[in-house]
Chains A and B, each alone.
Chain A
Amino acid sequence: MREILESIDQWRAEGQRVALARVIAVEGSGPRDPGAAMAVSEDGRVAGSVSGGCVEGAVVTEALDVLATGEARRCTFGYSDDEAVAVGLTCGGTVHLLVEPLDW
């Protein structure tokens, strides 16, 4: 989180809205621990990361959607027993994210 504050400050100073995605849980092998954070500006700029680059593309889509709807959501990437999500971690783990508008 600390490493993305500067980008967030800059985007907000430009009048951009910002979405924040944070890792809240990891099952199995995952490259980033809970707390890893990524910020996405309304015009699609990115700071930080939530995986080793495997799911960031999909997180940008989720983040922009969250800004459009204004509603926070929980997203899961990876494989679990009952679902095979198209976007996954190549290491085989599952990562749970909270994606929310930074309006607080």
Chain B
Amino acid sequence: MSRPLYEELRAALLAGEPVVLATVTRVGEAATAATALAAKLLVREGSETRGSLGDPELDRVVERDARAVLDRGVSATRHYGPRGEARRDDVEVFFETFVSPARLIIFGAVDFTRALVEVAKVLGYAVTVCDARPVFATRARFARADEVVVEWPDRYLERVGPSLGPRDAVCVLTHDVKFDVPAVLAALATPVGYVGAMGSRRTHEQRWVRLLEAGASEGELRARLMSPIGLDLGARTPEETAVAICAEIIAVRAGRVGARAPLRDATGPIH
């Protein structure tokens, strides 16, 4: 006998595997008797669909739609006829999509990195720390990181870049031009949604010049590179700086960068 649906869902969630749980959330009078409130279908990538909504045709259509929402990584509510017919409102199905956690890749195994790992874990990121220096990039120093990698940043990104997407973020904390420039260039070559680089105003200016010399376009740097990294919170300690960086990552993802005023001084919607 196969294991219960919940066990299947649990396994996928713990493994960080994308999965969709489709649940019947409203049943109209025209629905077939076998379609009950809370009936479920569990759809996993590359795996057989489990469960049933009570009608084979409805199952077929909902599985198809579940695969579509899984690809887009969003949750959705759809309405169907009793046998999955379109433009009907007899069965409401909630598609809850569980995507794998977004990734944060931090280059530079420095003290700010340790604090950034902590705050990013609170936010649910899968965190990688990468530094070419084996003395600093150790498991012992970054116990909470999901992964500690000893490798040159640009080589690392060359390797994992194709698997990254707009939900992922890269923070370059080396603040040494010779490490930063290749790391930032490699990060800009990926589709990550956030690229930030740490440094004083002076480091930032030198880095900007070197990036341009290395072939980066000024337009792309202005559009995508957050440097100096972080929102202007007046942060001083590594922990406060980590909050300023994570706050900026959230703001960029929400398209609120530039709107850095406190909510008190703004009038737009909060969520």
Residues of A within 8 A of B (CB): 1-2, 5, 9, 22, 24-25, 29-31, 33-35, 72-74, 96, 98, 100, 102, 104
Given A24-B77, A25-B77, A104-B4, verify A74-B14 contact (CB < 8 Å). Answer: no
Closest to B92 in A: A24
CB-based contact A35/B77 at 8 Å: no
7 residue pairs, one from A and one from B, having the closest CB atoms: A72-B38, A100-B38, A24-B94, A24-B25, A104-B5, A72-B37, A2-B13
Taking a contact as CB atoms closer than 8 A, the residue among A5, A31, A100 that contacts B14 in the complex is A5
How far does the alpha carbon of A25 sit from the alpha carbon of B23 in the complex, in Å? Answer: 13
Closest to A37 in B: B96
The residue among A2, A100, A104 with the most chain B CB atoms within 10 A of its own CB is A104
**Which residues of chain B are within 8 angstroms of A33 by Cβ–Cβ distance?**
75
Taking a contact as CB atoms closer than 8 A, the residue among B10, B36, B94, B96 that contacts A5 in the complex is B10
How far does the alpha carbon of A5 sit from the alpha carbon of B7 in the complex, in Å? Answer: 10
Give, as a whole number of angstroms, the nearest-CB distance from A100 to chain B.
Answer: 4
| Size of B's binding interface in residues, CB under 8 A | 23
**Which residues of chain B are within 8 angstroms of A102 by Cβ–Cβ distance?**
6
CB-based contact B96/A34 at 8 Å: yes
How far does the alpha carbon of A59 sit from the alpha carbon of B206 in the complex, in Å? Answer: 57
CB-based contact B23/A35 at 8 Å: no
CB within 8 Å of A: which of B17-62?
23, 25-26, 36-38, 40, 51
**Which residues of chain A are within 8 angstroms of B5 by Cβ–Cβ distance?**
104
Query: B1-15, CB under 8 A of A: which get 1 and which 0?
Result: 000111001100110
Given A24-B94, A34-B96, A100-B38, verify A74-B75 contact (CB < 8 Å). Answer: no
Closest to B38 in A: A72
CB-based contact A29/B14 at 8 Å: no
How far does the alpha carbon of A31 sit from the alpha carbon of B51 in the complex, in Å? Answer: 31
Give, as a whole number of angstroms, the nearest-CB distance from B235 to chain A.
Answer: 27
Give, as a whole number of angstroms, the nearest-CB distance from A72 to chain B.
Answer: 4
**Which residues of chain A are within 8 angstroms of B14 by Cβ–Cβ distance?**
2, 5
- Is B264 interfacial (CB 8 A cutoff)? no
How far does the alpha carbon of A30 sit from the alpha carbon of B270 in the complex, in Å? Answer: 10
Taking a contact as CB atoms closer than 8 A, the residue among B36, B94, B98 that contacts A1 in the complex is B98
CB-based contact B96/A22 at 8 Å: yes
- Is B256 interfacial (CB 8 A cutoff)? no
- Is B271 interfacial (CB 8 A cutoff)? yes
- Is B269 interfacial (CB 8 A cutoff)? yes
CB-based contact A29/B94 at 8 Å: no
